[in-house]
Amino acid sequence: MASHTAAAAIPSSQSTDPIEESEALLNEKEMKKRRIVRDSNLRLKILPNQWPIIYSTHYNITCMGLERCHPFDSTKWGKVFKICQEAGWLTKENTIQPMEAKTSDLLISHTSLYLKSLYIPCNVAQAVEVPIVALLFPCIIERCLLKPFRYQVGGTVTAAYFALERGWSINIGGGFHHASTNRGAGFCIYNDITISLQFLFNDTSLSKPIRKAMIVDLDAHQGNGHERDFKGDERVYIFDMFNYSIYPRDQEAKEAISKAVRLKRFTEDGEYLRELKINLKEALTEFTPDIIIYNAGTDCYEADPLGCLSISARGIKIRDEFVFRQARKNQIPIVMVTSGGYTRESAGIIADSLLNLKEKNIITLEPEFREDISDDEI
């Protein structure tokens, strides 16, 4: 029997080159991603009179009061929209309502094993850090928690395309920077930043292909999710400015950061804005991206119990203005997502910042890059 097996072995001349196998596998993965992009319904059309601002009432998370078990204001997205609406700016008609990301969309980044694990309540409870969620029926978790997150993923992908068309866009939601390909954490289930960039990298229909991207993460916490996802990927430059003494302290993920600005506890406006201006300018000198994903967390706010920084509401407004001005000055499309923020004031801070961008004509209905922007203006 042994000799028969040996005689039936494949001749060495017919064996496959390991490098060719690897390339074939890589090409298969890339083709799969391209098919996902091609078949997706997340890329929407925008009318000339519509702002490239994305929001849906589906974003808000409510579940029999259980949302109060976590310090995150899970209805802040609706509050941001309402404030801007009451200011006479945003309406349902002049903004964009995104589609919900389907499982097929999520698979451009997440593993099927991870997505299946979300049917188990204790896994979701661990990711959102609300233990009582483990006691809920999967159908309730799906409707009250996972679906809102998927709508926000759809919003970030849609925003990414609008930024290419208009020069800027804002998803009043998203920024789940602790989620990675095969895990959720820190109230983050799906890695919308990674998903949106994978869509752009693999969209062959774009008139100008997206080959390089920069993530500017100014949430108070390290963005370990997208850092794990893009570790070793030279197409992505990660600028992360965070409080190094708080969650997640992910050493492995830190290796993926292109420029890290490590902040001490209770850093105040002056030092914070000075470090941002110096280091972001350096980053844009070192790397010229085709698009910027701006993770604009407000948990750096001085009253935030988890961010442990001391940035004023005015400081956050100046921060956002500076980042947008740098993108416009360098003619780089920018996508803003709102990310973390664990105070009841967070929604108002975000809305005031957006209104400031509009009032100063930094964001306009007309797609226009301006080279006459001076840093002295802020």
Catalytic residues: 178
Distance CA 262, CA 322 (A): 19
Give the list of residues 6+ apart from residue 298 with CB closer than 8 angstroms, or none.
304, 316, 338, 339, 340, 341, 343, 346, 349, 350
> Nearest CA to 296 among 224, 244, 249, 354?
354
Distance CA 140, CA 339 (A): 24
How many residues does this entry show for the chain? 378
Terminal C-alpha separation, the chain: 82
Q: Where are the alpha helices (DSSP H) in the chain?
A: 2-7, 18-39, 76-86, 103-106, 112-117, 121-128, 138-141, 147-166, 192-201, 224-229, 251-254, 269-286, 313-329, 346-359
In the block, which residue shows the tokens 């000075």?
A: 274
Return the bridge partners of 53, or none. Answer: 170
In this structure, what are the phi and psi dihedrals at residue 171, rounded to the nearest 5 degrees? -100, 115
Tell me how crowded residue 147 is: count the other CB atoms within 10 A of its CB. Answer: 15
- Amino acid (1-letter code) at residue 258: S
Return the bridge partners of 299, or none. Answer: none
Tell me how crowded residue 231 is: count the other CB atoms within 10 A of its CB. Answer: 16
